[in-house]
Amino acid sequence: MICWECFNYTYFETDVETLKELKTGKDGMIIQDSMFDDYNYSQGMLRDNLTDVVQYCINQNADVLDHNLENRYLNCARCGSKKVTKPYSTWTSRRHLPIEQEILKNHQEFKELRKERFNADQLPVLWKSK
Amino acid sequence: MQINCRSCGKANEFLLPLWVRTTFKFNDDGSLSILHVKPLESLEEKLTDNHVHNELVCKSCSSNDVEIIFNEYEESDKTNRELAALEGL
């Protein structure tokens, strides 16, 4: 990801949801991370949600931008700008053939694949029981 | 303050979701490192908010049917006041 205001490509901010545990007792209320056995569920959830948001922004790219071309989830941690996108687009008019041409080009390979599946139970016998 | 689960009857451990602002960085290998976490919600304010009832869940049975009693001594205070009033009469 890159910020189009300051060209920072390292530090970003996002809002994620985590879980806290409330323990009530005679001494009052204690707020702490939620533990299941020795697994810290609060920290695990925070990391998972952060990874999810970042991967979603990387995969969706243009879909996470609003009409002002501002990212709805991430913002730059240096300048605070929300103009954060992927630094490049994977789409190019020269990289891919039209799908019809691509199918024709790979037709022989597809036929072999289907043939392989059709003859899957007729493989040559390598040994015979006496 | 006391929180009771109406489903399983336990009153000690509950889970509450909270939004936080996370500052992170991309490492050279593509992984993420967390630099800072800032709470966006005050847990105390959220507890006193009426909408928290749907979000607060019991850790034992995952039920969100919980009852929050802000002053568990309120009932006994009231009884004491009534007794004092009767004695005064």
Task: Assess B3–A contact: CB distance below 8 Å, yes or no.
Answer: yes
Q: What percent of chain B has pLDDT over 70?
A: 92
Q: How many residues does chain A have?
A: 130
pLDDT tens digits along B50-62: 667 678 888 888 8
- Contact between chains at B20 and A13 (C-beta distance less than 8 A): no
Per-residue pLDDT, B66 = 83
d(CA A127, CA A119): 19
Q: Interface pTM (ipTM) of the complex?
A: 0.74
Residue B72: phi and psi, rounded to 5, are -70, -15
Choose among A9, A21, A77: nearest Cβ to B59.
Answer: A21
A79 to chain B nearest CA, in Å?
13
CA dihedral sign, ordered A57, A59, A62, A66: negative
Q: Average the pLDDT over each of A106-110, B32-36, B78-82 and give the range with the smallest value.
A: B78-82
Confidence of residue A75 (pLDDT cuts 50, 70, 90): very high
* Structure tokens, A22: 């409330």
Are residues A20 and B34, on separate chains, in Cβ contact within 8 Å? no
Kindly report, residue by residue over A20-74, the tens digit of the pLDDT: 998 887 777 888 899 888 899 999 999 999 999 999 999 988 889 999 889 999 9
Element (H, E) at A116: helix A107-118
DSSP tag of B49? S
How many helices (H) does chain B have, and how many strands (E)?
A: 2, 5
Which of A119-128, B25-34, B35-44 is least confident? A119-128
Mean pLDDT rounded to a whole number for chain A = 87
Domain ranges in chain A are 2-89
What's the confidence (pLDDT) of residue B78?
Answer: 74
Closest CA relative to residue B62, chosen from A83, A34, A16: A34
